[in-house]
Structure 1
Amino acid sequence: MKLIAAGDNVVDYYQDQETFYPGGNALNVAVLARRLGHDTSYIGILGSDEAADHVLNVLKLEKVNADLIRRAYGENGIAVVTLDERGDRIFAGSNKGGVQSRLTLAFQENDISFIAGHDLLHTSVYSRIERDLPMLSGHVPISFDFSTKRDEAYLEAVCPYVTYAFFSGSDLSESECVQLAEKARGYGARIVCLTRGEYGAVLSDGERVYHQPVVRADIIDTLGAGDSFIAGFLTDFFEHQDIRRALAAAAGTAAKTCGGFGAFGYGHPYRPGGGKSNEKTRIR
């Protein structure tokens, strides 16, 4: 499988460790799918600071194609993370995406040609490329992480261009998850999956509803578990076209991620204002 992820990246700053880790839904899925043995690429906007340098270096170490990354003067996206006693992540603040929140990917002809050479494009609600989905979906199937974005207008605007839709549904009952899945399918999404933390996942393909329990693990940090689930599902389903098998693989991948800090490791000491950009990181 050749997967390209487009859009958001951040570094997750763990205050208690004074360390940041590479992250962001799109970037995580690219790296985690690569670790599962697949050919992956990432296209997004990085800043000009130390955090951005670290993200780019990690992509090279993980052998994720980063040829189409844009870099802009300013701070990279950063999110402040704390963990509760169970290892569940709590986001305590951010710089609202950093420089990438003030720019757009603005896909060019060479970008489109490169993207079209992949089997699947994954992106997210945090990537700000919704207006490009009609065009992109004409070249490659799209996987989209809605997180907790569920309002009717958004579903109506995005779902017609999405093959795989993922939602965070840990605050929803099982019946509410099924209702949301059917609503998203009604707007055009083909396969809809809701991850529910310790309650597993619910998936609808229009023919039936599947339920996947969690795989038990020694939890250190749950950050990135949902992104790992997405990478595990997409890659296994592409290979085998078996939903039950793909859900089990996804749950196993998510459990493995919970055994270490960050979405996929690579902790780096945090130095406020460090790096090439003279812009101070504004966390609020």
Structure 2
Amino acid sequence: MTQPARIVVVGSLNMDLVVKAPRIALEGETIKGGTFSTMPGGKGANQAVAASRLGAHVHMVGCVGDDGFGRELLDNLHKANVNTDYVTTVSGSSSGVAMIAVSESGENSIVIAPGANDRMAPEYVRQAESIIREADVVLIQLEIPMETVEEAVVIANRHQVPVILNPAPARSLPEALLKQIDILTPNETEGKLIVTGRAEGDIDVEEIIHDLKSKGVRQVVMTLGGEGVAYSAGEAVQRLKAYTVDVMDTTGAGDSFNAGLGVYLAEGGSLEEAVRFAQKVAALSVTGFGAQASFPSRTEVEGFQ
């Protein structure tokens, strides 16, 4: 590799308000939790920080509010060596917040108040066209308005920059958008929703991947939690088993996976190599508490077996 991967992340920035709990509360139930923490998060910022830790040069495109959380989120990106020239502070808006409960088994329950993320208009992406044009990969998620996602994809396509779209949180997507995506990275629930319009249903992983490709997506990489990953390899679907680790907190695991995938592909790796690398990144990320705080360095990933 002659130079670091150039990654542009278009997406959300949130402050995560995290409570440890013995388990996830049922509807209408109150349970006693443990420690409380505030931690920088948001799918976009998570992917940006994770990619930077892996050695990439990263630009973040997003919005924060003109509040204390907004200043903290920007400071955190600076400390992670993420360029914030295209992170806009929106006057009169609060920053995005995520309320997260983490169980003793490491599973989580998340509710998001989007704040400034909902104010991220397509014009903010157009202002960043010069850096998108020079990128090796653009990473996008769905915690910002759909018209802004679509604008980012159009600009990346215009300059023939590969797009990785992480379709989270789960929602249906127009086929016109799917036809412009180089790699779609749903989990099983997200994949089902895009294909059938419902998050549940009796449809297997291979069928979901084939259906997504028939809608125009060039490649599909589906994360399956503890079952590993399934991805399209030509007409076939390949599966890779998950690494076995002691899970402390799964928050941000999908974001770290997407970052690892994007960085390795930007460096010229094959899809299979990139998926294996991304699996290592995600496996290491769940062994610590909090999203960004537990993202591994490049050295840690390369030393992980």
TM-score (structure 2 length as normaliser): 0.79
Deviates more, 1:205-214 or 1:71-80: 205-214
Over 3 Å counting, the alpha-carbon distance change for 1:148 and 1:26 in structure 2 is: closer
For 2:244, give the aligned amino acid.
Answer: R
**How many angstroms does 1:249 deviate by?**
1.2
Q: 1:11 matched to which residue of 2?
A: 15
Give matches, 1:163-178, under 5 Å.
163-169=182-188, 176-178=204-206
Question: Residue 251 of structure 1 aligns to which amino acid in structure 2?
Answer: Q
1:124 to 112, 128, 141: 141
- How many residues are aligned here? 262
Deviations 1:114-138 (A, max 9, x none): 2111111111122222331234321
Q: Secondary structure of the residue that 1:137 maps to in structure 2?
A: helix
For structure 1, the residue ranges without an aligned partner over 5 or more in a row are 267-284
Aligned residue number for residue 67 of structure 2 = 49
Match of 1:281 in 2: none
Match of 2:293 among 261, 265, 275: 265
The alpha-carbon distance between structure 1 residues 109 and 13, as it changes in their structure 2 partners (threshold 3 A), is closer
Contact 1:213 1:251 in 2 (8 A): no
Judged with a 3 Å threshold, the aligned counterparts in structure 2 of structure 1 residues 174 and 143 are, in CA distance, closer, same or farther, namely farther
For 1:4-52, what per-residue CA distance to the aligned partner results, in whole angstroms no more than 9, with x for missing partners?
0012111211134332211122211111111111111101001111211
The residue that corresponds to 1:85 in the other structure is 104
Match of 2:213 among 168, 181, 185: 185
What residue number does 1:215 align with?
243
Cross-structure match for 2:270: 242
The separation in 2 between residues aligned to 1:86 and 1:177, in whole angstroms, is 25
Say if 1:131 and 1:246 are closer, same or farther in 2 by CA, change over 3 A: closer
Q: Find the aligned partners of 1:108 and 1:200 in 2 and give their Cα distance.
A: 33
**Shift in alpha-carbon separation, 1:200–1:175, aligned structure 2, 3 A:** farther
TM-score (norm 1): 0.85
Question: What is the SS of the residue equivalent to 2:222?
Answer: strand
> Would you say the 8 A contact 2:264–2:277 is kept in 1?
yes
Greater mean deviation of Cα atoms: 233-242 or 194-203:
233-242
Identity of aligned residues (%): 25
Task: Report deviation, 1:109.
Answer: 5.4
Secondary structure class of the residue paired with 1:125? coil
Q: Select between 251-260 and 17-26 the one with higher mean Cα deviation.
A: 17-26
SS of the residue 1:178 aligns to:
helix
Q: 1:164 is matched by which residue type in structure 2?
A: I
Q: Does 1:134 align with 2:154?
A: yes
Shift of 1:172: 7.4
33 and 76 in structure 1: CA distance in 2 versus 1, 3 angstrom threshold = same
- Closer/same/farther in 2, CA of residues 90 and 109 from structure 1, 3 Å limit: closer
SS of the residue 1:146 aligns to = coil
The change in CA–CA distance for 1:201 and 1:98 in structure 2 (over 3 A counts) is same
Deviation at 1:111, TM superposition (A): 1.6
Q: Is the contact between residue 45 and residue 105 of structure 1 (CA under 8 Å) also seen in structure 2?
A: no
How far does residue 148 in structure 1 lie from its aligned partner after superposition?
A: 5.8
CA distance in 2, matches of 1:85, 1:110: 43
CA–CA separation in structure 1 for the residues paired with 2:169 and 2:202 = 15
Between the aligned partners of 1:228 and 1:216, the Cα distance in structure 2 is 17
Q: CA deviation at 1:198?
A: 0.9
| Pair 1:143 & 2:140 matched | no
